[in-house]
A and B are shown apart, each in its own frame.
Chain A
Amino acid sequence: MSTQSVREMSKRVSERLADAGFVDAQTNPTWYLIVIPKVLLFGLIMIVPFLGAFYVSLHQWAPLAQTHPFVGLENYVQLLHDKVFWKSLQNTVFYAGMLLLFDVPIALGLALLLNMKLKGTRFYSAAIFLPVVTSWVVVSLIWTWIYSPTNGILNVSLASLGLPTYDWLGNRALAMPAVTAMSIWKHIGFNMVIFLAGLGSIPDHYYEAAIVDGANRWQRFRYITLPLLKPTAFFVIVVTMIFSFRVYTQVYVMTNGGPVHATYTLMYYFWEQGFGQFNYGYASAMAVVLLVIVFGLSILQQRTWGSDVEY
């Protein structure tokens, strides 16, 4: 497209918009031309389906049915009485809780160690970050093999030490913790890098001034590092929770939700209802529950983290 025709096109677009009273005729029309493609995509791919989720959740909706009868809140009421749903929610909350309890503090600890800028830091951070870049499907496959009941390296190692072995993914009490442990392993490097960026953004002159004032290491950590890292820590905690509610792929690959719903998560049950049972209405009700939880968490984040973000 030549510059000339682009200019003409943008002029026409802006005239139309001005005629319709949307925009001020004085504005340079090019600005509209360059944001419109993305705005259209937001509208069609994010906003319409977003509203669609609420709409579908109020209907009994089978993909091939001719009509989709309105059922009001029936899907939601059914959710309240659905034991598998509660089990899925419970598992998801367990998953999020374990990540907060182990992933976040260990990631912070590793970031503090890496921030000491020891020799070999590049190697250490590269190694710890390796599971982050590898896909969930790949690491799930590898860990299914590690957890394998008779021949996986975990049980082989335990047996060689004379310790008891378990069917990690086949045991109802152990399956969810096993999936969670693997996820912590995979995810720690992500939080670590965010903490590391947070530590790096603390200006050095704060420490210099503190040294001049005679503050010792502990005091510098306690009164400079810790308070200044608070926003980063809060960000990490909320984002970890938000992502936890999306846990899905590792369950699909490692356990298929089993044994007997022991590893069902919100997203796994959603997928099973939506695209296994083709029960769109019921699945959408679950999606709306997920949306409400994630929005709640995001508001929490905006309150503290976003308070000085300019809009």
Chain B
Amino acid sequence: MSTDLDLGGEDRIGTGRAAGTGQYVVKALAHGILIVASALAIIPFAYALLTSLKPEEKIFTTMAQIIPAEPTVMNYVNIWMQNPLDRWIFNSLLLAAGVVFFTLLLDSLAGFALAKGDFKGQRFVYLLVVGTLIVPPQAIVVPLYIEMSQFNLVNTYWAVMFLYIANPFGVFMMRQFFLSVPDSYLEAARMDGCSTLQIYTRIMLPMAKPALSSLAVFTFTFIWGAFLWPLIVLSDNAMYPLQVGLAGLTGQYSSQWGQLMAAAIIAAFPVITAYLLAQKTFMEGIALTGSKG
């Protein structure tokens, strides 16, 4: 993407003067705005965390006191004991693992075929990918639900996963990646007697590791946050992924904010941890949606 020839950023933005105090003023102003923006982004999470650590009976009496005087984990214990949180987390992880696995496998194969293949109907398949990219999944959930009930798949993990595995985005992304691999690699491998499948497993897959990890992270975040389709296709409380279970708590815990915030923190924890560990991969995943190709 960017060739990191450092021009000293402010040369690129075009504000302020080249040298002297003007530059410091511009920089200080930029820092000021970015600090405020960062604080606005973080404060709600900090507030939720602090609320979750307050004893439930003291949340309303100690409003003015943001930081809990005697932090406690009772809210976490209570919400966990009273709800099948472990089951919901298990469901979410299972769904995410399934979707990520099939997405990586099918999309890398299809992306490879679309980028490097030479077969009749290739253009048609590509148009199918680009065409379905536009279809908002929300618009097709009624007929999809009818279809799933015809196949007797309602209230199964498969029904949830199918919609996300069918997502065309990964094919598009993998195709873009494989297009960037020079044809000479394939030709050399063919000379050495590799079959198409061997080229895929021995040459393409190892090279695609960065793209695959971006796609994995992107897909995982997406599934972890999935809401509407699981809400529709699952009917059994024990089958719910965490997000759907969590949304159902709002009614029964409408005034127990400490416990609700504890549940929110629990649900946010895996993704935020993963994000802090692999920030670059996350952002690349998003940036890829905007990269022209």
Contacts and interface: CB of A to CB of B under 8 A. Distances in A.
Main secondary structure of the interface of A (DSSP, over half): helix
B9 A142 contact: no
Contacts of A51: 143
Contacts of A139: 44
B166 A42 contact: yes
A22 B120 contact: yes
Main secondary structure of the interface of B (DSSP, over half): helix
A142 B246 CA distance: 12
A168 B265 CA distance: 23
A113 B268 contact: no
B162 interface: yes
B286 A290 contact: no
Interface residues of A, number: 127
Given A52-B140, A136-B225, A141-B246, A309 B64 contact: no
A113 B13 CA distance: 8
Contact of B13 (A116, A185, A219): A116
A35 B110 CA distance: 5
Contacts, number: 349
A4 to B, nearest CB: 11
Nearest to B254: A144
A16 interface: no
A110 to B, nearest CB: 6
Interface centre among A120, A137, A194 (most CB of B within 10 A): A137
A197 B1 contact: yes
Interface residues of B, number: 115
B106 interface: yes
Contact of A52 (B7, B40, B146): B146
Contacts of B20: none
Interface in A206-229: 207-208, 211, 216-222, 225
Nearest to B244: A137
Given A7-B195, A217-B13, A253 B250 contact: yes
A232 interface: yes
A133 B275 contact: yes
Interface string A236-253: 100100100110110011
A115 interface: yes
A118 interface: yes
Contact of B120 (A27, A47, A110): A27
A145 B48 CA distance: 8
Contact of A204 (B7, B260, B282): B7
| The 5 A-B residue pairs with the shortest CB-CB distance in the complex, in nearest-first order | A221-B14, A52-B143, A116-B9, A135-B225, A194-B290
Interface of A: 3, 6-7, 22-24, 27-28, 30-32, 34-35, 37-39, 41-42, 44-53, 55-56, 63, 109-110, 112-118, 120, 122-146, 148, 150-151, 153, 156, 160, 185, 189-190, 193-194, 196-204, 207-208, 211, 216-222, 225, 231-232, 235-236, 239, 242, 245-246, 248-249, 252-253, 267, 270-271, 274-275, 280, 283-284, 287-288, 290-291, 294-295, 298, 305, 309, 311
5 contacts: A32-B119, A118-B30, A135-B268, A151-B63, A194-B289
